[in-house]
Structure 1
C-alpha cells in the first residue's frame, strides 16, 4: 500500500495485491544436469495509472531452461568446473549490477553460456556471454490485464563478463574484481539508447561474525558511449563516464539475539551540464532492495544520481525471527538530473540537492520453519526541499509505504 507518491508520475495513493508461483526442477545424471523454472508473477487491484510494471507482472514465464555439465578439476587440480548453457538467472558479486532479487515479483534472466570454476581455497572464477531478456509485457494496459507474453531475447542486447574472487586477501576479507561489457542497439519495436558500456568493479568484504568488525567496500566505474535519447531518429552520441561507491562497516554482538549496528555510505553519479558526456550511473540488472529499501509500488530510491549516508540495526532474537531498521539521509549527486528512480527533475538546479530522509523497517518470522514465512515492512520518506519544490513533483507530501508478505515453500 502506498500513501503519497514520490515519483513524478503515478497515482498519489495506490494499492496492489501481488502473487507469484515458482516451480523449479532439476534432473541430475552424474555429470549432466537439466534444469528448468517456471514463474507466474501477477498483480491485481492497482490503479489504472499505477507505477506497477515489469517487476510486478511477468505471467507464465520460463525464466530458466538450461543444460549444465560438471567437468571436475578441468582448470586446476582439486578445483571444480561447471558449464551451463541455455536460459538461466544470474547474480554477480553483491548484486549491484547483476542480481536475482528476492523482493521483486519477477526477475531478469539470460540466454547464453556461463563457466564457473571453484578452487580448493574457495577462490572462484566466472565467465559468461549472454543475451539479457527484455521483460514482457511492458505496456500499462497489458500489465493491468496480466497479459502473458514471453520475454524478448536478441543479439541486439548482449552482456558478457569475467569475475574473479579471492577468498582470502587479509584480515578475513575476500576480494573480487570483475569486468562487464554491455552492447545494445535498436531493433523494430524496441528502441534503446544504444548503450555500449564497459564496467570495471572491485569489491572487498569481511562477513559479519560474533564480536568482530565487518565491512564492505565496492567501487564500480562505467565508461563507453550512449545515445542522447532512445528516439530512433536521435543520432547524437555521448561519451559515458559514471561511477558508484558503496561502503559499510558494522559489528555483530555476541550471545543469543545479538544485535548488529552498521554505518553505510553510497554515491552513484548523476548527469551534469556537459552536453557531450553522460555521467548518470546505470543500475543495469542490479537489485536495489538490500541497500535502498522496498521496490514495488514504492521503489523511489535506487543507484542513480544519489549520495546517501545512513545507519542500520539488525537483530535476530531467535532462529525463526529477525528484523532490521534503517534510516538514510538522501541528496542528489547532480542538482540538474532526475533523482534516483523518481523521475523528479529540475534542469535549472534551483531546487537544490536535499532529497530527504528515509526510514525503513522490516520483520520476518518463520511460522513453520523452512515452510511458511511471514514478512512485514514499512517505509516513511520525509521529503526534503528537492522532492517538494522541483517543477515536475506530482505530490509534495511525504511518502509512506507498507507491505505484508507470506511465502510458502513446498
Structure 2
C-alpha cells in the first residue's frame, strides 16, 4: 500500500512536489502441524506423546526508503501433549510481539554500493549455518533479543555484523502454563548480555566463502531466576562452497569455547569451573547434473563433552538450531552440538521445482562416556554403558501445492538405540524411538 500526503495545489499556480509517504506491507504465515513419538529416549517423560501445534506469524513494515519500522506478532499454541511431555516454552508462546524495531540504512559509506544498516529494538537473528545463532523455521517459536545491531555489506556481498543484546526468555515456563496456552508476555533477561561480531567474505576464489565470529555470553542470577552463571567466549571459523550441478561442494566450521560456568543452576551450586570446549562440522557433497539433480553428501560432527577433568568441557550451542544438521527437533531432537561424535551420509533429490526429498543416516557416539549424551538427558557417570548411543535415520518430503502460498511437508525419524541409550542408569526401557510429523503452511 502506498500512502501519499501533501497539500492540494492552488488553481492559480503549478502544483508543488508532493513528498512520498511510507509504504505499508503486511505478510504472514499459518502453520498447522501434527507430530508424535513412540519409544521415548528421555528419562521421566511419557513414552508416547502426540502433539498438535498451530503457529501464526504476522509482520508489518513501514518503509520510508532508508528508514524502516518493523513489527511482528507470533502466536504459537499446542494441544494434546499432556502434563508429562517434553513440550516446553520453545513450543508454546501465545500472542507475543516477536519483533519491534527501527532500522536505517546508510549508503556508500566506505565504497560504492556498500550499505550500513543500524537496527534497534527487539529482533531475531541468524548467522552462518545457524549452528550457534538462528531463527530456524522448524521450531514453533524463535529466540529473540532486545538491543542493537549494525550490519555492513559491500557491493561484493562481504558482510560484517556487530550486535549487543539482552536475550529474551520465552514465557510461560511452567508445565501448567504451557499446557493451558497461557498468555504471558516474555521477559527481557537484563541479567544476561549476548554480544559479538560475525563476518563473512563472499568469494575468496573458486566460489568459496570464508567467515569468522566471536560471541560473548555473560549471565548472572537475579531474584527468582537462577542461572549457570555462564561467562563464555565462543570464537570460530567457517568456509563453504555452495552446491551446484556437476560441482563438488564443501562446508567446514570449527569453534572453541572458553570462560567459566557452573554445572547446574541450583542455588547451592557456587563453583565456577573453567570452560574448555569446542566443536567441528565437516561436510562434502556432489550434485549430479542429471534429472532430479541428486546430491550425495557425507558429513562428520564432533562436539566436546564434560569428563573427569577439573574444568568443564561440554560445548554450549548458545542460541543455535538443530534441524538442518541433526534431524527433526520438537518432540524428537536427541542429537545436537554437545558430547557428540557422529559421521553420516545424506541424499537429496528434486524431481521438480515444487517437490524435494531427503534421506539421511548417521551413527551416534559420545565424545565423553561419563557425560550426558547430546540432548537426551541420559547419563552414566561411571562410563560403564560405553560410548555407542545408536543410529539415527530420517526422511523428509516437501511439496509446494500453490507456489509461494501453500506447502505440505511430511517427515519421519527413527532412533535405533545403542548400548548407551539402553544400559545407562536413567535410560528409559521403551525400545527404539519412532517419530513422525506432517506440516501444512499457508503464506499470505
Report if TM-score (shorter chain) is over 0.5: yes
The residue number in structure 2 matching 1:259 is 294
Matched, 1:304 2:355: no
Pick one of 198, 209, 220 that aligns with 2:244. Answer: 209
> Does the 8 Å CA contact 1:75/1:81 hold for their aligned counterparts?
no
1:371-382 alignment runs, 5 A limit: 371-382=405-416
Q: Quote how far apart the aligned CAs of 1:256 are.
A: 3.2
1:46-195 alignment runs, 5 A limit: 46-195=81-230
| Distance in 1 (alpha carbons) for counterparts of 2:50 and 2:413 | 15
Q: Quote how far apart the aligned CAs of 1:144 are.
A: 0.6
Pick one of 363, 381, 384 that aligns with 1:347. Answer: 381
1:164-221 C-alpha deviation (Å, 9 max, x unpaired): 1111123321000111111000011210000000010100000000000001000011
> Does the 8 Å CA contact 2:47/2:430 hold for their aligned counterparts?
no
| Distance in 1 (alpha carbons) for counterparts of 2:403 and 2:65 | 31
The residue number in structure 1 matching 2:322 is 288
Pick one of 294, 306, 312 that aligns with 1:278. Answer: 312
| Distance in 2 (alpha carbons) for counterparts of 1:78 and 1:408 | 36
1:373-392 alignment runs, 5 A limit: 373-392=407-426
Pick one of 321, 328, 332 that aligns with 2:355. Answer: 321
What secondary structure sits across from 1:168 in the alignment? coil
What secondary structure sits across from 1:133 in the alignment? strand
- Structure 1 pair 75/155, CA: closer, same or farther in 2 (3 Å)? farther
Of 173-182 and 295-304, deviating more is: 295-304
> Does the 8 Å CA contact 1:75/1:117 hold for their aligned counterparts?
no
| Distance in 1 (alpha carbons) for counterparts of 2:300 and 2:120 | 37
The residue number in structure 1 matching 2:31 is none
Segments of 5+ residues of structure 2 without an aligned counterpart are 1-35
1:98-128 C-alpha deviation (Å, 9 max, x unpaired): 0001000000001101101111111111100
| Distance in 2 (alpha carbons) for counterparts of 1:79 and 1:184 | 35
Q: Quote how far apart the aligned CAs of 1:240 are.
A: 0.6
Q: Quote how far apart the aligned CAs of 1:297 are.
A: 0.8
> Does the 8 Å CA contact 1:387/1:396 hold for their aligned counterparts?
no
Q: Quote how far apart the aligned CAs of 1:232 are.
A: 2.4
1:128-154 C-alpha deviation (Å, 9 max, x unpaired): 001111111111111111111111113
| Distance in 2 (alpha carbons) for counterparts of 1:154 and 1:301 | 27
The residue number in structure 2 matching 1:233 is 268
What secondary structure sits across from 2:187 in the alignment? coil
The structure with the larger Rg is 2
The residue number in structure 2 matching 1:336 is 370
RMSD: 0.9
The residue number in structure 1 matching 2:28 is none
| Distance in 1 (alpha carbons) for counterparts of 2:203 and 2:353 | 28
| Distance in 2 (alpha carbons) for counterparts of 1:160 and 1:217 | 24
> Does the 8 Å CA contact 1:23/1:39 hold for their aligned counterparts?
yes
Matched, 1:25 2:41: no
Q: TM-score, normalised by structure 2?
A: 0.91
1:61-100 C-alpha deviation (Å, 9 max, x unpaired): 1110000001112243431110010000000111111000
| Distance in 1 (alpha carbons) for counterparts of 2:252 and 2:103 | 33
Q: Quote how far apart the aligned CAs of 1:396 are.
A: 4.0
Q: How many residues are treated as equivalent by the alignment?
A: 409
Q: TM-score, normalised by structure 1?
A: 0.98
Segments of 5+ residues of structure 1 without an aligned counterpart are none
> Does the 8 Å CA contact 1:136/1:149 hold for their aligned counterparts?
yes
1:19-67 C-alpha deviation (Å, 9 max, x unpaired): 1000011110022100010000010011220000112101111110000
| Distance in 1 (alpha carbons) for counterparts of 2:137 and 2:162 | 24
